[in-house]
Chain A
Amino acid sequence: MTTHTYLAIAMIALVTALLRFLPALLFSRMERTPRFVIRLGQDLPKAALGMLVVYCLKDLDFTSLQGYLPATVACVLAVFSYATKKSSLFSVLLSTIAYMLIMNLFF
């Protein structure tokens, strides 16, 4: 382990933390949070979820069945089971188990 290893780890930790703290550092001292920040705060959660779902599925590979079928089936299952049962834990468990079964039994 060289000093460089530790410095690099410290750098990754520092930049990551800075990104998470940045909005608080910029806006929490203000008496009133600016209007556009509040608006973003309201709309961003949904936009971020849309972004994260695409981000998670970015490695789908449409050139092989294994590359997209298990994830597609599991996602559809997650959506429909949530729409009918309204329990997020149930839907996450069900779709994850389905994904694992398809992956391990068929591919």
Chain B
Amino acid sequence: MNTLKDKATFKQAFIDTLPVMSGYLIMGAGFGMVMNSYGYPPYLSTLMAVCIYAGAMQYVGANLLFTGVSLFSVALTTFIVNARHIFYGLTMLEQYKKAGKEKPYLYFGLTDETYTLLSRPLSVKNKRAYRFYVTILNHSYWIAGCTLGALLGSAFPQVRGADFALTALFVVALVQSLEFHKRNDLPALIGAGATLLSLLIFGKDNFLLPAMGVIVALLLLLPEKEAKA
């Protein structure tokens, strides 16, 4: 049960990624339209979806390209907007250790949504195939969304509010992760609390980095878990 070809697991991965499909098609199409409005050709949207594959950063990036700021500013902005992704690689270290040739791709594809689906305890038997399928399915939804948005422009059917699926995905995953046990639920509270506090102090544009610093510091101060949780 450790092969990358597994139909039943693919079906499960497809069902689990449906909320991501809805969110990525809408958000990706939005990005494609922004690129379109700046006068960039559709293939550039596809290129960015394939090789950057980061939602918020692509929106910011479209603007950076358009205004033509220096490469150093581009690098710094990317670091600040995407720094949270360090968390994701860190969490998946142990799980991804056993992966085979698909390992670099799994790390490459660690978006907020892929991370949310894969960092929770998995119930499928063939975990290796499941991780690979979830990663590649999400990536393909994103590429499809970005490309369609760029090709169709404002003709893309825009259903207002369908992108809420991504917020809902995070909210539900958070509730799902709660164990109603003081020690084990404290990290969730620290994550939300530190981020909220940082948002109130530093404002919308600069709150993630300070929040991450506080989160890591507080998590390291927590006492060890008793036995295995």
On whether the beta carbons of B40 and A1 are closer than 8 Å, the reply is yes
Interface centre among B53, B68, B168 (most CB of A within 10 A): B168
Q: What is the count of residue pairs linking A and B with beta-carbon distances less than 8 angstroms?
A: 248
Whether B134 is near chain A, meaning CB under 8 Å from some CB there, is no
Per-position binary interface string of chain B over residues 57-71, scored 1 when its CB falls under 8 Å from any chain A CB and 0 otherwise: 110010011001001
Alpha-carbon distance between A93 and B108 when the two chains are bound, in angstroms: 28
Main secondary structure of the interface of B (DSSP, over half): helix
Alpha-carbon distance between A43 and B189 when the two chains are bound, in angstroms: 11
Within 8 Å by CB of A4, from B68, B110, B187, lies B68
Please report the total number of A residues contacting B with Cβ < 8 Å.
67
Interface centre among B47, B165, B194 (most CB of A within 10 A): B165
B192 contacts which chain A residues (CB < 8 A)?
Answer: 50-51, 53-54
On whether the beta carbons of B225 and A42 are closer than 8 Å, the reply is yes
On whether the beta carbons of A40 and B170 are closer than 8 Å, the reply is no
On whether the beta carbons of A99 and B225 are closer than 8 Å, the reply is no
Within 8 Å by CB of A88, from B64, B86, B161, B176, lies B176
A104 contacts which chain B residues (CB < 8 A)?
Answer: 159-161
Closest Cβ neighbor of B83 among chain A residues: A19
A4 contacts which chain B residues (CB < 8 A)?
Answer: 68, 71
Whether B96 is near chain A, meaning CB under 8 Å from some CB there, is yes
A-B contact pairs, 15 of them (CB 8 A): A8-B61, A12-B54, A12-B64, A19-B82, A24-B89, A36-B220, A38-B94, A43-B187, A47-B187, A51-B211, A51-B215, A52-B112, A53-B174, A91-B168, A96-B22
Given contacts A15-B82, A16-B57, 18 further A-B contacts (CB under 8 A): A8-B71, A20-B88, A21-B107, A33-B94, A40-B90, A40-B91, A44-B90, A46-B177, A46-B185, A47-B187, A48-B191, A52-B170, A78-B171, A83-B175, A89-B19, A91-B168, A92-B165, A104-B159
